[in-house]
Each structure stands twice: as structure tokens, then as C-alpha cells.
Amino acid sequence: MKKRYLVAGTLPMLLTAGTLAAAEKLYTYAFKRINYVPDASDAMQQYANDYYYHVDWVEHQQPAVWHLDTPDDQHLSALWLKHPNSNKAVIIGHGYKGTGITMANYAHMFYDMGFSVLLPDDRGHGQSDGTYISFGWLDRLDYLQWLQLIIKNLGQDCELLLFGTSMGGATVSLVSGESTLPKQVKAIVEDCGYTSLDDELTYLMKKLFHLPKKPLVPLASFINYRRLGFTISRVDVQAALRRNTRPLLVIHGQKDVYVPTWMGQENFKASAGPKALWLVPDAIHAESYWVDPVAYATHIRDFIAPYFSK
């Protein structure tokens, strides 16, 4: 009898301990920084030569290195490519576990359009501080500071664009909902960003691990609250876009199964300002540029043209 009661009493504790260990493992897997850029998928390897051409181009420009110290004592880093004949600039947000330099193809594209370019390393990435990745939530406040540094550098009459892919797309969308967004920001372009961190983690839990949302995602959210100060539900891109009044172009691959295409469609619906949606045929996640770089640049140029000086 005593043995049966002992087993009955111990089993919930063992299950709880095992669940907490699994949640910690999930959190470490998803949120903890790594000090390298993961290899591209097999599908994206076909673009490797073109990608490194753009990386070499950026490095040949000898970009300046900018630094930012945040109110919570994080030291952040970014590359700055100053265009000699323009007062326009773009901040380019990189993807999950990427860095600023991994966005070299977009930097080259926007520079050719006449923009100066800032390539931040977000928290938990590259040369910036941070033990954990905030998926755009803390980065959105950092981007507001980066914007002010650009304005200080170019002057009050500068014209600014926000652009990002994947996590970077979500980040610039989160920035769009901030009441202190400078008037110099004229438009936003987001490529394959998620609707919310909760949506994305729940989707990936099912797709990659065949597991339901509960209990691991709520427990990971609690861990994140203890370590970074916010719950997963706070990272709500759609809520930010409902407050956005700037022109927004949403780009998303029609074959994206990492951040599914419906998320781009929902982000488009949520935005309160002028907007356009381009679903790119046959493009998987973050592939829309590579499918047709000329068409990609043309779509962006045509969309932003009415909002920027010639």
C-alpha cells in the first residue's frame, strides 16, 4: 500500500521535472545565441556564388562600424555604408541566427537604388551583445536608436526606409507600431516575417517535432520572462501593424513552409496604412530575392517611389 502511494505521489513530480527539462531544452534550442551563422539549406546552396559576390562587394566598400549602447547595458554593432549622393537610408533587419553581413545582397540592391545602408547585428547575433535572441521584441527599441543615429548623421531632412526578411521582417514590422517612430521613416518593406512569435513557435513545434503547443511553449515563455523580461505573447507583429500608418509592402514566397505564406497574408491585412502584397511564385522561405533579383528590386522601387523624393 505504501509503495503504491509513493509511486502515485512521485509520478507527477517526475513528469513535471521531465517537462521542465524539455521546456529548458526547447528554450535553449530556439533562443540561445550561437556564435556562427548556420549553413544555408540545400535548396538555398544554389545561390552561394551570387551570395558571396555581394558579401565581397560590401566588404570592398569598407563600411564603417557603428556602435550603440542601450539603456539595459547591451553593446550593439552595425555596418554603415554611406552613399555619397543621397540623403536616403535604409535599415536592413537580418534573419534568425544571421548577421548584418548576411544581408549583403539587399545592401547592394538598396545602395544601387541610392540609399545609404545600415546593417545591424541584432541582440544575440554577430558582434552584438546578448546571450539570448529576442525575436525582434527588444530589437525594435534598438532600431529606434539606430534610426536616431542615422538622422544625426544625415540630417533632419533625411528619408528613411525599414526593410527586413524573416525575423528581420518581423522586427521592422514591430518597429512600425511604435509611437516614437521618427517622421523621417517613409515606408516599410517586410519579407516573410511571422505574425507573432507564439504563432511561429506553435507552428514549428507541430511541423518539426509533432508536438502540441502546451505545455512546452507556455513554459518556454515563462523561462523567457525570467531571462529577458517579456512573455512570448508580447511579440505580436499583427498588433504592431494595426498601429502602423506608414506604407507597407509585404513580400512572401508562395512555397514558404518555415514561416508559412498565410502569415504574410495576415500581416498584410493587419496593417492600417497604404499597403501592397506580393506573393512570389515558387519561392521558399527567404528565397524571393534570389528567384528573380531584378523583379524583386523593381517591386520595391515601384512601391516606395511615391513616398521618397526623386
Question: Do the beta carbons of residue 103 and residue 94 sit within 8 Å?
Answer: yes
Residue 80 CA to residue 150 CA, distance in Å, equals 9
- H helices within the chain, ranges in order? 2-31, 48-60, 104-112, 139-154, 167-176, 197-209, 216-228, 237-242, 261-270, 288-291, 293-304
Q: Which sequence spans correspond to the domains of the chain?
A: 44-195+244-307, 197-234
Q: What is the pLDDT of residue 5?
A: 43
Residue 36 in 3-state DSSP?
coil
Tell me the torsion sign for CA atoms 32, 167, 280, 263.
positive
- Beta pairing partners, 160: 89, 185
The one-letter code for the residue type at 93 is G
Residue 230 CA to residue 233 CA, distance in Å, equals 8
N- to C-terminal Cα distance for the chain?
85
Q: Which three cell numbers stand for residue 237?
A: 507583429
Tally the C-alpha atoms within 13 A of residue 263's C-alpha that lie toward its C-beta.
30
Q: What is the pLDDT of residue 13?
A: 39
Per-residue pLDDT of the chain (310 residues; tens, 9 = 90+): 444 443 344 334 335 778 889 999 999 999 999 999 999 999 999 999 999 999 999 999 999 999 999 999 999 999 999 999 899 999 999 999 999 999 999 999 999 999 999 999 999 999 999 999 999 999 999 999 999 999 999 999 999 999 999 999 999 999 999 999 999 999 999 999 999 999 999 999 999 999 999 999 999 999 999 999 999 999 999 999 999 999 999 999 999 999 999 999 999 999 999 999 999 999 999 999 999 999 999 999 999 999 999 7
Q: Which three cell numbers stand for residue 103?
A: 544581408
Residue 45 CA to residue 41 CA, distance in Å, equals 6
Question: Do the beta carbons of residue 55 and residue 104 sit within 8 Å?
Answer: yes
Q: What is the pLDDT of residue 222?
A: 92
Classify domain 44-195+244-307 at the CATH topology level: Rossmann fold (3.40.50)
Q: Which three cell numbers stand for residue 134?
A: 529576442
